[in-house]
Structure 1
Amino acid sequence: MADHKIIIGSEEWVGLPQLDIPTIKVRVDSGAKTSALHAMNINPFQRNNETWVNFDVFPIQHNGKKYISCEARVIDRRVIKSSTGTRESRYVIKTALYINGSSWDIELTLTNRDSMGYRMLLGREAMIGRMLVDPESSFLLGDLSDEDVNSRYQLKHENRNGLKIGLLASNPDLYSNRRIIEAGELLGHDIQFFNIRQCYMKLDAQTPEIHYRGGKILNDLDAVIPRIKPSMTFYGCTLTRQFEALNIFCLNSAAAISQSRNKLYSLQLLLNNGIDIPTTGFANSPLDTSDLIKMVGGSPLIIKLLEGTQGKGVVLAETKKAAESVINAFKSLNAYILVQEFIKEANGKDIRCFVIDGKVVAAMQREAPPGEFRANMHLGGTASLVKVTPAEKKMAIKAAKAMRLQVAGVDIIRSSKGPLLLEVNSSPGLEGIETATEKDVATLMIRAIEKHLKFPSGK
């Protein structure tokens, strides 16, 4: 019975074709029950009511640049005891193993094997009935040189026509992020999510680098889509600036994002470009509260924390007394605020224009919940399709250009004086705009990258 079995050494080269891994060196270990694969950035998701995982594999030892993005259906989740005695809960997948001209399905656990050297361990369950092990030998089925290995992965890379795009954000499960990844993949690009907190960089004049958790080097990306939440503005913009220094195209630049997040500076910049805003006041001392209120037309008025975002830190003061109380309370906390005239005729509504590459590609009207006002859209409310006027469209385009944003959500309010600009958002959400307008905004964002990089659309 043994004469039909493959004789292997303590280490061999195998392939995992269903995971698109042409070759990987394995450590043969008959003492381990289940085989294990070195995997990073493991993220579960649902497909047809089944659990799947996507993950990255660095198949070549001591190489943080070449990686393969994989996905597979989860068949189990088990607690595995490692050789060091550590217990770990791991996802288990089933995939085809290719070796010496033969192929069969094996079970693989996914784990971080960085400290183990070998990117894959071949356990006894995968070998039973098919292999015999000669522990004194290695590569009985043939060894591969570094050139052989690199050529196989180079051929694989050359056969891919799409761009390598990184989505720099914080939550892969957000509607906007899922839609952007989906749109990029449908257009044939390799688009991957990178958590801002798990990126780190090497500042060096000769070899600057950006790394991702586990040592993946991101220098070979073609483009980056920064979607930075307010609390991560400083570090997110620092990363974006590093990508720009590596000559990687960023859909929105670090400078544009930074100035859009500075409410006072962004308003000054808009005014300098001839864009009308509601009358706004700013002061450092609470001694000027009364005149500050008078300056913007009296009560009712809007009070905004400069650090506030997306409607948070925004208060409607209906009387002068209420306004003075709120302003003085904020000032006692050393918080910087803006006061702004209240546009009564807007009736709790505003318009969000979505601008991509100098064009308004979609627009919706947002209405605050009953008893609230426009700035409290985060509490709920409705969004609907709206036809914007030429003046509103012109204002939105001009505002995005003034902020130097390729992608922007421009918020406009309708007043008796004409359209007034409220805010420019550098990471606008997609769910409301795509639902209200039924437009594929995510695809238009990817198309903007293709256009900038002169990538032929349709491939």
Structure 2
Amino acid sequence: MNQDQKLIVGSEEWCSFPALGIPAVKARVDSGAKTSSLHAFNIHPFNRNGEKWISFEVHPIQRNRKTTVRCESPVIDRRFVKSSSGDREKRYVINSSVHIGGSSFDIELTLSNRDTMGYRMLLGREAMSGRMLVDPAASFSVGDLTPTQLSQMYGVATEPSSGLKIGVLASNPELYSNKRLMEAGANRGHEMVFLDIKLCYMKLDAETPEIHYRGGWILNDIDAVIPRIRPQLTFYGCALTRHFESIDVYPLNNASSISYSRDKLYSLQLLQRKGLEIPTTGFANSPMDTAELIDMVGGAPLIVKLLQGTQGRGVVLAETRKAGESVINAIKSLNANLLVQEFIKEAQGRDLRCFVIDGKVIASIERRAAPGEFRANLHQGGSAALVRITPEERRLAIKATKALGLQVAGVDIIRSAKGPLLLEVNSSPGLEGIETATGKDIAGDMIASIERALNWKPAAKT
């Protein structure tokens, strides 16, 4: 085929796969990728007449998980493919005829879950070689489809959504809390999108600031985001949240409040400044002050906490003074910052988790330490049960949340001989333990908080 006969395509085009029952799928045209890839999930291998086949399902429409097509195809290979993020994944490979711009030809497709990507399909250079020329500044050079046409192809009713568009800004779409938020938002009539923090990037510009998602999707049309930032990604996750705020996307917990909560020392300083009771805590830079730090918190036994630790990690009980000195000096020798805190013996390895939304405690549980552990932690085999908190504990949880400027928080309180004490305020509290123990729809309550903030109400039924 000479150059004049080659198909000129843009950076994104519509393709169809009649043999797979896919009448239209938007593809990212990427000459940097060798192999073409199609979104697939629920992949199951099986044998047919002595040949290897697979069945799989496809969400062919971008940002639409309701429309599903079930496909079957022979398997031609299974190989490792390196993604654009540098990860190696073993994928099934199939061969299918693709229709694009009036042309039809067979191409190889690797199957991978592209739910977190901007496009359901990627058209690689092997498929384009000898057939196409790419104009990267153009889009849909061989024809575009309207939403109505797309809906008719898939038999989807074209009712405009009156709901909000809400992004869950996190890292793992399979995590219980993230799945529940996605489900709860969809159940309340909203369009929910999962946004992998590492796949987002920012454009800083006085006139047109933007947030992009890998694959070319611009996220400025989102109404709200729910930041669920893992500790290792606090800096970048907060930077993204701050940028969403700058383009008037509502965050359920703003970047400043999340940053405050992640800095254990600073958060305790803010809490004490508001006159809220916390365990006696010591902090020092030099190992020369270890002895005085231990005396400051009442001696042994004592708690040693890494400033960057979360979910019970980086927390050590030193039962003797000598053990405390050894742990503190060992950590200091690694140039890591730590807190030294009094040990509340009468708590007997129990603490309270109060879930606060919009200045109200909506659920509370008592967490009990696993056998052999000294503190309550559901991530390390602890258990949880319903508990009735006192008015004083309720007020303490609400004041702590307000002190850090959070809309949603998990507030950890310990019961001591001198009254309730604040342990920590978590800006991305887990939902599994508290929803299981209480039977409450906490995820739905979080979505409702966004609805109130944006003055959204469901359309009246006629």
TM-score relative to the length of structure 1: 0.74
* Percentage of matched positions with identical amino acids: 58
Cα deviation digits, residues 166-197 of structure 1 (max 9, x gap)? 11111111111111111111111110111111
Give the conservation status (yes or no) of the 8 Å contact 1:37–1:110: no
Cα deviation digits, residues 265-302 of structure 1 (max 9, x gap)? 00000111111100000000111111110011111000
Aligned residue number for residue 328 of structure 1: 329
Question: C-alpha distance in 2, partners of 1:80/1:383?
Answer: 47
Question: C-alpha distance in 1, partners of 2:422/2:56?
Answer: 44
Aligned residue number for residue 315 of structure 1: 316
Question: C-alpha distance in 2, partners of 1:312/1:268?
Answer: 21
Shift of the alpha carbon at 1:205? 1.6
Aligned residue number for residue 408 of structure 2: 407
Aligned residue number for residue 44 of structure 1: 41
C-alpha spacing 1:151/1:302, structure 2 compared with 1 (3 Å):
same
Q: 2:146 aligns with which of 149, 154, 169?
A: 149
Aligned residue number for residue 373 of structure 1: 374
Q: How does 1:375-390 map to 2 (within 5 A)?
A: 376-390=377-391
Question: C-alpha distance in 1, partners of 2:74/2:395?
Answer: 55
Question: C-alpha distance in 2, partners of 1:352/1:401?
Answer: 16
AA aligned to 1:327 is: I
Q: What SS class does the counterpart of residue 389 from structure 2 fall into?
A: coil
C-alpha spacing 1:405/1:22, structure 2 compared with 1 (3 Å):
farther
Question: C-alpha distance in 2, partners of 1:217/1:253?
Answer: 21
Aligned residue number for residue 85 of structure 1: none
Give the conservation status (yes or no) of the 8 Å contact 1:450–1:457: no
Q: What SS class does the counterpart of residue 179 from structure 2 fall into?
A: helix
The Cα RMSD (Å) is 4.0
Structure 1 runs (4+) greater than 2 angstroms displaced: 9-16, 21-26, 36-39, 42-47, 50-58, 67-81, 88-92, 108-116, 143-146, 148-158, 375-378
Q: How does 1:98-247 map to 2 (within 5 A)?
A: 112-114=121-123, 149=146, 159-247=160-248
Shift of the alpha carbon at 1:242? 1.0
Q: What SS class does the counterpart of residue 210 from structure 1 fall into?
A: strand
Cα deviation digits, residues 332-368 of structure 1 (max 9, x gap)? 1111110000000100000000011111111100000
Q: What SS class does the counterpart of residue 374 from structure 1 fall into?
A: coil
Q: What SS class does the counterpart of residue 415 from structure 2 fall into?
A: strand
In structure 2, stretches of 5+ residues that fail to align are: 1-6, 28-34, 45-53, 79-89, 100-108, 113-120, 129-140
Aligned residue number for residue 306 of structure 2: 305
Shift of the alpha carbon at 1:214? 1.1
Q: What SS class does the counterpart of residue 401 from structure 2 fall into?
A: helix
Give the conservation status (yes or no) of the 8 Å contact 1:52–1:71: no
Question: C-alpha distance in 2, partners of 1:302/1:191?
Answer: 41
Give the conservation status (yes or no) of the 8 Å contact 1:240–1:253: yes
Aligned residue number for residue 453 of structure 1: 454
C-alpha spacing 1:72/1:416, structure 2 compared with 1 (3 Å):
farther
Give the conservation status (yes or no) of the 8 Å contact 2:413–2:423: yes
Aligned residue number for residue 256 of structure 2: 255
Give the conservation status (yes or no) of the 8 Å contact 1:310–1:375: no
C-alpha spacing 1:71/1:24, structure 2 compared with 1 (3 Å):
closer
Between 1:198-207 and 1:245-254, the stretch displaced more is: 198-207
Question: C-alpha distance in 1, partners of 2:37/2:322?
Answer: 64
C-alpha spacing 1:321/1:191, structure 2 compared with 1 (3 Å):
same
Question: C-alpha distance in 2, partners of 1:77/1:289?
Answer: 67
Question: C-alpha distance in 2, partners of 1:252/1:43?
Answer: 33
AA aligned to 2:289 is: D
Give the conservation status (yes or no) of the 8 Å contact 1:23–1:149: no
C-alpha spacing 1:336/1:215, structure 2 compared with 1 (3 Å):
same
Q: How does 1:420-431 map to 2 (within 5 A)?
A: 420-431=421-432
Cα deviation digits, residues 222-267 of structure 1 (max 9, x gap)? 1111100111111111111111111000101111111100000000
Cα deviation digits, residues 359-398 of structure 1 (max 9, x gap)? 1111100000111111654321110000011111111111
Question: C-alpha distance in 1, partners of 2:293/2:214?
Answer: 49
Cα deviation digits, residues 33-60 of structure 1 (max 9, x gap)? xxx9985xx463599xx986564645xx
Question: C-alpha distance in 2, partners of 1:220/1:293?
Answer: 53
C-alpha spacing 1:22/1:319, structure 2 compared with 1 (3 Å):
same
AA aligned to 1:262 is: D
C-alpha spacing 1:51/1:192, structure 2 compared with 1 (3 Å):
farther
C-alpha spacing 1:10/1:386, structure 2 compared with 1 (3 Å):
same
AA aligned to 2:200 is: C
AA aligned to 2:413 is: I
Q: What SS class does the counterpart of residue 188 from structure 1 fall into?
A: coil
Give the conservation status (yes or no) of the 8 Å contact 1:91–1:109: yes
Question: C-alpha distance in 2, partners of 1:241/1:453?
Answer: 18
Give the conservation status (yes or no) of the 8 Å contact 1:22–1:152: no
C-alpha spacing 1:90/1:214, structure 2 compared with 1 (3 Å):
farther
Q: What SS class does the counterpart of residue 214 from structure 1 fall into?
A: coil
Question: C-alpha distance in 2, partners of 1:457/1:273?
Answer: 39
Q: What SS class does the counterpart of residue 146 from structure 2 fall into?
A: helix
C-alpha spacing 1:345/1:46, structure 2 compared with 1 (3 Å):
farther
